[in-house]
Amino acid sequence: MEEMKMPLIGDAFPTMEVQTTHGKKKLPGDFNGKWFILFSHPADFTPVCTTEFVAFQKRYGEFKKLNTELIGLSVDQVFSHIKWEEWIREKLKIDIEFPIIADTGKVANTLGLIHPGKGTNTVRAIFMVDPKGIIRAILYYPQELGRNMDEFVRMIKGFQVSDKNGVAIPANWPNNELIKDRVIVPPASDVVTAKKRLKEYDCYDWWFCHKKV
């Protein structure tokens, strides 16, 4: 039996057709030209997952302003997803506007979302995919720990600033402890450039220069 290779950061997101609460979608094709975040959750009608979906929805407008779409996933039938959405609307007064994939297990296995020791439920995973369909980040969380959606907003903003300006993003940006909202200039790779850097930018040393964007 041929072993399936899990996609990694820098790989093209696997081409697939999925059934969602918004009908059938082709990934990554239907999101061409946009960023998208595919996030898996263990199961519908569970407390932590419910808090996560509300948190994602609360930030959906912010993601859309960043040219970013959301798409959820679990190994549940589409009927379960729809009923859960109805429950969230009725009980919590929140409309879930993004699609949720109803997976038979094929998508979860392709993306490595079924982990040993966790049964057949999908783990909490995040795939961030850029407008060219390339996976830029993968994050895994245990079932008992809910995710921080503000970090995902920060990551998308950071990727976009990095791509546009050819820079690196410091820890806790835009509130970094050393350089605040500034960004890092890639280190010089030769002696001449190293000397120039100290005159061109604010630097701690030639290999650690930073600037405003």
Are 116 and 189 within one domain?
A: no
**Helix H or strand E encompassing 153:** helix 149-165
Are 197 and 125 within one domain?
A: no
Torsion, CA 51, CA 148, CA 153, CA 134, rounded to 10: -100
Q: Which residues contact 160 (CB under 8 A, 6 or more apart)?
A: 35, 66
Q: Do 135 and 111 contact (CB within 8 A), yes or no?
A: no
pLDDT single digits (tens) 17-46: 999 999 999 999 999 999 999 999 988 999
Are 47 and 110 within one domain?
A: yes
Asked if the structure places residue 161 within a domain, the reply is no
Are 184 and 139 within one domain?
A: no
> Region 11-17: what's the mean pLDDT?
96
Asked if the structure places residue 123 within a domain, the reply is yes
pLDDT tier at 4, thresholds 50, 70, 90: low
Instruction: Provide the CB-side half-sphere exposure for 23 (13 A, CA).
Output: 1
**22 three-class SS:** coil
Asked if the structure places residue 152 within a domain, the reply is no
49 catalytic? Reply is yes
DSSP letters spanning 27-80: ETGGGTTSEEEEEE-S-SS-HHHHHHHHHHHHTHHHHHHTTEEEEEEESS-HHH
- Select from 147, 180, 199 the last residue of a domain: 147
Number of folded domains in the chain?
2
> Region 92-120: what's the mean pLDDT?
85
pLDDT single digits (tens) 44-70: 999 999 999 999 999 999 999 999 999
Q: Which domain holds residue 136?
A: 16-147
Q: Which of 27, 49, 101, 183 is catalytic?
A: 49
